[in-house]
Amino acid sequence: MLEYDDSAFYYFSLAVLTFILIPYTYYQLKTLILGDLSIVSEGVNCETEWFQNLVKTKTAQAKKSIWTRAFIFKLIVGVFFWYLWTENFKLVSSIEGLQTFDPYVILELDNNADEKAIRKQYRKMSLLKHPDKNRDNPLAV
């Protein structure tokens, strides 16, 4: 009897988590390394000593003020979703190959069976597998 599984869901969820977590992690690491730095430099000569001092001061302030509740919450959320990703990856890597739909295997016939043999075996198997004919068999349902 051919059995189907839900492995496609795990592949899909792994792909979605990957597409979300990579940019999210990049942004969080960038914030962790550089701080929450936002300096508007439009109309300012970047070569001036004043601007260079402003950048150094703002960079130091940004690195010191990074550990806010919001940033810590974002880190915890990121770690949680990376944990989900690793568990999902373990599950996907342990899934055996997907089963293919082969009617000859289901009907227990050779691949070179003629149409008459296929019809005969189909009728025989339908009597064996049909729920109305096999009320005692829970797999027939």
Q: What is the pLDDT of residue 139?
A: 66
DSSP string, 29-58: HHHHHH-S-----TTS-TTSHHHHHHHHHH
**Residue 125 or 77, more confident:** 77
Q: Which two tokens stand for residue 33?
A: 């390394």
Task: Please list, in sequence order, all residues whose beta carbon lies within 8 angstroms of the beta carbon of residue 111, skipping any fewer than 6 positions away.
Answer: 104
Nearest to 31 by CA among 56, 65, 81: 65
Q: How many CB atoms lie within 10 A of CB 106?
A: 14
**Residue 55 or 45, more confident:** 55
Q: Which two tokens stand for residue 7?
A: 């492995």
Q: What is the pLDDT of residue 1?
A: 40
Tell me the pLDDT of the chain averaged across its residues. Answer: 80
* pTM (predicted TM-score): 0.53
Q: Which two tokens stand for residue 128?
A: 């064996």
In angstroms, rounded to a whole number, what is the distance separating the alpha carbons of residues 140 and 114?
Answer: 27
Q: What is the pLDDT of residue 38?
A: 60
Please give the C-alpha separations between residue 6 and each of 79, 85, 101, 140, in angstroms, as whole numbers.
26, 17, 15, 21
Which tens digit of pLDDT belongs to each residue from 46-103? Answer: 677 877 787 778 777 766 777 888 889 999 999 999 999 999 999 888 877 656 678 8
Mean local confidence (pLDDT), 6-16: 86
> Where in the chain does DSSP place strands (E)?
none
Q: Answer for the pair 107, 120: CB distance below 8 angstroms, yes or no.
A: no
Q: What is the pLDDT of residue 75?
A: 92
In total, the chain counts a number of residues equal to 141
Mean local confidence (pLDDT), 102-130: 86
Q: What is the pLDDT of residue 7?
A: 76
